[in-house]
Amino acid sequence: MTEQPARRLLLVHAHPDDESINNGATMARYAAEGARVTLVTCTLGELGEVIPPGLRHLTGAALGEHRRGELTAAMRELGVADFRLLGGAGRYQDSGMMGLPENDDPACFWRADVDDAARHLVEVILEVCPQVLVTYDDHGGYGHPDHIQAHRVAMRAVELAADAGWRIPKVYWNRVPRAIGERAFAQLHADLPGLPFTKSAVLDDVPGVVDDERITTEIDGTAYATAKSAAMAAHATQIDVSGAYFALSNELAQPLFTTEYYELVRGEPGDTRETDLFSGIEGAS
C-alpha cells in the first residue's frame, strides 16, 4: 500500500471552473508543497453558457465533454493530478440555474438523493483520508442548485465517512471578506477603462461574501497567481481572463483573488486568523 502524503486536501465543487475561481491559488500552493490535493467535481456543467462565439455550437453532452477537457487542462496548470467526477462521468447532470425547467430533470444533480450521492463521495474520502475538506456554504455561495447540492452532499459525506471509520478533522466553506471585496471592486472601477470589459459586476455577485469576522482562514496564494490565472483561462468556454480581472458569460468584470479566504465550520478554531488549512492537525502543519 502506498504511503499517503502528510497533508491531504479534498475539495468538492459543482462544475468545472468553480475550483479554479474559488480555490485555484490554494490548490496550486498545496500541490507545490507536496500535499495530496483531490478534487471531486459533481457535474460536467452541460448547461453552462458558452462565451467564445466559435464554441457556441457546443451544448449538452458535447459541451460537458469539452468542459471535461478544460478541467484537465486547468488541473495541469495547478499541478493537481487527482481529480474525479462524482460517481464517474455522466452520473449527475448539470441542473441549470434555479427556477429553470431543467431543475426537474430526474437525471440532474439537484434531484439526486443526497445520501446516494454522498456515498460516492465517501468512497473517495475512505481512499484519500483527507484531513481537510473544502466546499460551499448552505446557500451554495450564490444559490445555484448544483452548488447547494454539492454542499449538502459534501456535509453528509463527512458524517457518513465518520461512521465508516474516517473522521475529517477540518471542514471549510469558501468565503470572501466584505472589506477585501469592497477594496478590490474599488480598484476594478479605477482600472475598468483599460480593460476589455465594459461593465463591472457588483460585490453581491461574488459567491460567499460575508462580514470579515466570519473569516477564520486566509491562504496567501500570490506566488501562484500565474497558475490560478492560467487555470481559469483554461476554462475558456466559461471564463474570460484579463490580468487581475475576469468575466463570466454575463461580461461583467470581477476581481481575480489570489489570496483566498475560508470559514472553518468543523474543527477547532485558533485564537488568530489561520494562514494554513492544516493548522492544528497533528503531523500535518
Residue 256 lies in a domain: yes
257/254 Cα distance (integer angstroms): 9
Q: Does the pLDDT value for residue 1 go beyond 70? A: no
Residue type, 200: S
- What would the mean pLDDT of 98-115 be, rounded to a whole number? 97
**pLDDT level of residue 271 (50, 70, 90 thresholds):** confident
Residue 260 lies in a domain: yes
Residue 35 lies in a domain: yes
What is the percentage of the chain residues whose pLDDT exceeds 70? 99
pLDDT in tens, 125-168: 999 999 999 999 999 999 999 999 999 999 999 999 999 999 99
Residue 250 lies in a domain: yes
Residue 79 lies in a domain: yes
- What would the mean pLDDT of 195-211 be, rounded to a whole number? 96
Residue 99 lies in a domain: yes
- What would the mean pLDDT of 224-240 be, rounded to a whole number? 98
Return binding residues for Zn(2+): 15, 18, 147
DSSP state of 79: T
List the CATH number of the domain containing 81. Answer: 3.40.50.10320
Structurally, the chain folds into a number of domains equal to 1
Residue 272 lies in a domain: no
Q: Does the pLDDT value for residue 2 go beyond 80? A: no
DSSP state of 267: S
Residue-averaged pLDDT of the chain: 96
Look at residue 285 in the predicted model and tell me its pLDDT. 62
125/203 Cα distance (integer angstroms): 34
Quote the strand ranges of the chain, DSSP E. Answer: 8-13, 36-41, 82-85, 132-135, 170-177, 199-200, 209-210, 217-220, 240-242, 245-247, 252-255, 259-266
- What would the mean pLDDT of 186-199 be, rounded to a whole number? 97
Residue 101 lies in a domain: yes
Cα–Cα nearest to 145, from 94, 196, 193, 81: 94
Return binding residues: 15, 18, 147
Sequence-ordered alpha helix ranges (H) in 5-112: 18-32, 60-78
Domain range for 86 is 6-264
Task: Spell out a b/e string for 240-270, using b for 16 or more CB atoms within 10 Å of the CB, else e.
Answer: bbbebbbbbeeeebbbbbbebbbbbbebeee
